[in-house]
C-alpha cells in the first residue's frame, strides 16, 4: 500500500487526540451531571453510552501502549543498558527496534506517555474532589492509572 505509513501515523495521532478529547469531556460531564452536588441514581441514562465505550477503549489503547513501553525489556546491546533507559527506549519506540531516523515513534511515544500521565492525574483529581459522587468510568480510569504507576515508579528504585 502506497500510503500505509501516513495512514498509520494519522490513526495513531487521531487515537491520541480522541483519548485526550474524550477524557476531558468525561471530566467535564462528571461535574456537570451532579444535582445539588450529588450524582443522580439514573446518571447513566443521561450519558451517551457510545462516548463511555469509546473513552474506555481509547484509555485501554493508550494505557496498554504506555504499559508496554515501560514493561518490555529489550536485549542488551551494550549501549547504556540501565533498566530505566531500556524502559524509556521501549516507550519511545513502542517496544520496537526498527530504525526510525526521524524519531517519529519516539516523539509520539513520549506524547502518549505524557498524555496518559496528565489524564490519569486528572482522573485522580476528579475522583478526589467528587469522592463517592464520581462516575464509575472516571474512578476506574483513576484507579487503573494509579495501579499502573506504582510498579513503574517502584522500578525506578
**3-state class (DSSP) for residue 124:** helix
Residues in Cβ contact with 7 at an 8 Å cutoff, skipping those fewer than 6 apart: 1
Classify 42 as helix, strand or coil: coil
d(C-alpha 15, C-alpha 21), whole Å:
10
Per-residue pLDDT of the chain (157 residues; tens, 9 = 90+): 778 888 998 999 999 999 999 999 999 999 988 888 888 888 888 888 898 899 999 999 998 888 888 873 444 555 555 555 555 555 555 545 555 566 888 889 999 999 999 999 999 999 999 999 999 999 999 999 999 888 888 888 8
- Read off the pTM: 0.75
Q: Is 141 within 8 Å of 46 (Cβ atoms)? A: no
- Cα–Cα distance for residue pair 25/1, rounded to 1 Å: 36
Distance from C-alpha of 113 to C-alpha of 7, rounded to nearest angstrom = 21
Please name every residue paired with 38 in a beta bridge, in sequence order, or none if there are none. 35
Amino acid at each position: 500500500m502506497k500510503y500505509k505509513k501516513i495512514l498509520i501515523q494519522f490513526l495513531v495521532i487521531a487515537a491520541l487526540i480522541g483519548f485526550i478529547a474524550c477524557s476531558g469531556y468525561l471530566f467535564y460531564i462528571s461535574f456537570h451531571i451532579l444535582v445539588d452536588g450529588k450524582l443522580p441514581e439514573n446518571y447513566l441514562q443521561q450519558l451517551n453510552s457510545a462516548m463511555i465505550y469509546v473513552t474506555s477503549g481509547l484509555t485501554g489503547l493508550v494505557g496498554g501502549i504506555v504499559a508496554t513501553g515501560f514493561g518490555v525489556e529489550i536485549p542488551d546491546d551494550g549501549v547504556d543498558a540501565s533498566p530505566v533507559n531500556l524502559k524509556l527506549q521501549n516507550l519511545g519506540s513502542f517496544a520496537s527496534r526498527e530504525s526510525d531516523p526521524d524519531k517519529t515513534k519516539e516523539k509520539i511515544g513520549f506524547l502518549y506517555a505524557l498524555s496518559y500521565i496528565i489524564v490519569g492525574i486528572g482522573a485522580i483529581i476528579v475522583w478526589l474532589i467528587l469522592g463517592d459522587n464520581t462516575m464509575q468510568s472516571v474512578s476506574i480510569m483513576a484507579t487503573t492509572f494509579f495501579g499502573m504507576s506504582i510498579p513503574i515508579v517502584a522500578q525506578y528504585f
